[in-house]
Structure 1
Amino acid sequence: MDLVLRSATPEDLPALLRLEQQCFTSDRLTVRSFQWMISRAHGQLIVAEQTAQLLGYALVLFHRGTSLARLYSIATAVEARGLGLGKRLLERIESCAREHDCAYLRLEVRTDNPRAIALYERHGYRRFAVLQQYYEDRADALRLEKRIVQHRETRPIRVPYYPQTTDFTCGPACLLMAMGALQPARALQRREELQIWREATTVFMTSGHGGCSPQGLALAAWRRGFRVRLQVNTQGPLFLGGVRDEHKKDVMRLVHEEFCAELDASEVLQVLGGPLDLPALLADGGQPLVLISSYRLTRSKAPHWVMVTDCDEEFVYLHDPDVDHSQHRQAMDCQHLPVSHGEFAKMCRFGSGKLQAAVILYHPHPL
């Protein structure tokens, strides 16, 4: 086939909609969705054209700040099937992902679409999850993944995923994940998410409810029977720079002082400064919650807690509890995110003071 593969333009919208109607009976992309994908999405929409006729498209989305890409949708016209167009589109998408420094490409496919499954598996994609009733018609989906640049899973511990249910509970959500990794039978519940926030909150932030400080999270974990290491490179109350009201600052100072007094009376190991040696912490059975600046993920300059699930020579892998639906993401897009060590080192320095903080959980001492 003498095909041209190129980036989509607004002029392709009518043909893209016709193709969508022809190829899918549900879960179709709308005009508005296509417009967003062409003009604003952090991704790439590739169309296959022959003699001014649109025969297929493939859409890949990139996860900002990470090395993960997601094949969001791929379609080929009926008259072009059996001619290798799907293979060419897939190869082009993988090339686009590599150009954006992505190491992994993930996708979902209907379990009742053996032809598509065979295409992906022939090209090295492996099954790693089944999503029950994923599509609008309640059909199941297979989740597939390919390492396009070579995560081997090096840890015997599986870290469950729990999405935060409010804008201010990223820390409690991560703590639930860490506790669930160490105690697999433990239920991850919203009631405990909110209870941990009540115990660990700094009370105030720039606006709205306050997030959780490393000191507060460390105490919450210790109270639940875990061994805890608290590693912070700054003494004194954190996040004061984001609050203008002096009364609120006084409250935050008092909260911090109480946390410190409780920590001194606890068995929490407190470490001031020093490098965060993730390989050693993970090898020792630790489950690290790390404070990052969300700027490199969302362009929002806010402190944010993430859960480290693994690391290897190239990447640190993260569970991000914040599912940003505005970016067409779902919970599965925020799990085991591969982030280069260099990018991670930049992420985990917050603010002008380069704050670094981590809370590491370990199995409770045997009785």
Structure 2
Amino acid sequence: MNLLMRPATLDDLSALAELEGRCFEATRLGRQQFRWMMVEANASLTVAEGDGRILGYALVLFRQDSTFARLHSIATDPRARGNGIGQRLLEAAEASAHEHQCAYLRLEVCPDHRPAVALFERNGYNNLGLLQDFFPDHREALRFEKRVARHPQALQRHVPYYHQTTEFTCGPACLMMAMGALDGGPPGNHQDEVRLWREASSVHMPGGHGGCSPHGLALAAWRRGYRVRLHLSQQEPLFLESVRNPGKREIIRQAHEDFCNALQDTDIEQHLGDDLDLAPLLEAGGQPLVLVDGHRRSRSRAPHWVLVTDYDRTFVYLHDPNAERSLLRRPQDCQHVPVTHREFERISRFGQGKQRAAVVLYTRS
């Protein structure tokens, strides 16, 4: 069967409403809803046309400033099933999501709709779990998700992934990944992770162990022979406003002063300012560790270190060392995570003063 995949038009309204009635028993879209999707909504509606008839459609919804697109519904005329129409529509939906600068396509489907579930599983969608009382008729749903934006490997550099083993060692984990990328070897082990944390830790969070300061990470990398560039929006200790205990505040200040004094005896390049232009850093062979807003990345109060692995015109790609805290859950989903440049600009600012911090490693001197 010859299929034409094209955007829906207002001339398709009657055919779409009739198709909806043949495909779904409940929660149907009517003419007015389809019209609104075409004219008013931030959406993409693709139809499959064959032999002069509408044989299927795929409706994708978008949300401003979100890297997630949602496949609202996909339907194939029961009389035309078995001709690969669902597969073609799903591919068109994924392409539309990518064209709208979305990195992920997410959907919900009834668990007992086995053909649809099989279609999504066959196309590499991850099952994110069961949602109770999801549909208007109170049926449950399975949520699926797929990354539709893939890392282009533009830099042709392998960046190994290391999953941090504690809640407070995201900085050392990122440092280990950066060193592994520059050396072309494995990132290290738990002993290396803890040793780096002990060297670089100066930040005491309200709930427990301290994190690693950019100064401490920069020094730890420099001591291992790497060239280092330190980017800071301010020279003062970070996160003091979140520490109420005067004793802890003084410890942070002392550790910060010690790091600053140690930096004076190194050739670490320090850049003080609000700008963080990733393109020249990456093109010059740098491997940037960036401190991001933990709430935006993982609904956590604590800032979080991530490693920038690459960039292109649409996305910045990140290795996130903490799969458990990440919104993406699995280690394999935390590698080369795509975020738009606009979103990266937001998450790379943290604290009340919207501060920025980055540590950039280069090959050993």
TM-score (normalizing by structure 2): 0.66
Matched residues in 2 for 1:284 and 1:184: separation? 17
Please say which structure displays the higher CA radius of gyration.
2
Aligned to 2:211: 211
SS at 1:82 equivalent? coil
The one-letter code matched in structure 2 to 1:317 is Y
Aligned to 1:349: 349
Aligned to 1:312: 312
Matched residues in 2 for 1:6 and 1:231: separation? 56
Counterpart contact for 1:287–1:361, Cα < 8 Å: yes
**Unaligned stretches of 5+ residues in structure 2:** 1-18, 29-59, 72-79, 107-117, 126-145
Distance 1:327 1:205, change over 3 A: closer
Counterpart contact for 1:68–1:338, Cα < 8 Å: no
Output one character per residue of 1:212-248: Cα deviation in whole Å (capped at 9) or x when no partner: 0000000010111100001101112111111100011
Output one character per residue of 1:102-125: Cα deviation in whole Å (capped at 9) or x when no partner: 23559xxxxxxxx9799749xxx9
Distance 1:312 1:91, change over 3 A: closer
Counterpart contact for 1:227–1:268, Cα < 8 Å: yes
The one-letter code matched in structure 1 to 2:334 is C
Matched residues in 2 for 1:88 and 1:67: separation? 23
**Unaligned stretches of 5+ residues in structure 1:** 9-59, 72-79, 107-114, 126-143
Output one character per residue of 1:314-353: Cα deviation in whole Å (capped at 9) or x when no partner: 2111111111378572101111111111111111111111
Aligned to 1:292: 292
Aligned to 2:41: none
Matched residues in 2 for 1:198 and 1:66: separation? 37
Counterpart contact for 1:231–1:272, Cα < 8 Å: yes
Aligned to 1:339: 339
SS at 1:196 equivalent? helix
Query: Aligned runs of 1:1-367 on 2, under 5 Å?
Result: 2-4=22-24, 67=67, 82=82, 84=84, 86-87=86-87, 90=90, 94=94, 102-104=102-104, 120=123, 146-147=148-149, 151-324=151-324, 329-365=329-365
Counterpart contact for 1:171–1:211, Cα < 8 Å: yes
Matched residues in 2 for 1:241 and 1:252: separation? 11
State the identity as a percent: 53
Q: Note the C-alpha offset of 1:206.
A: 1.7
> What is the RMSD computed on CA atoms of the aligned residues?
4.0
Matched residues in 1 for 2:328 and 2:197: separation? 27
TM-score (normalizing by structure 1): 0.65
Matched residues in 2 for 1:191 and 1:70: separation? 42
User: Paired residues, what number?
Assistant: 279
Counterpart contact for 1:288–1:308, Cα < 8 Å: yes
The one-letter code matched in structure 2 to 1:293 is D
Q: Note the C-alpha offset of 1:157.
A: 1.4
Q: Note the C-alpha offset of 1:308.
A: 0.3
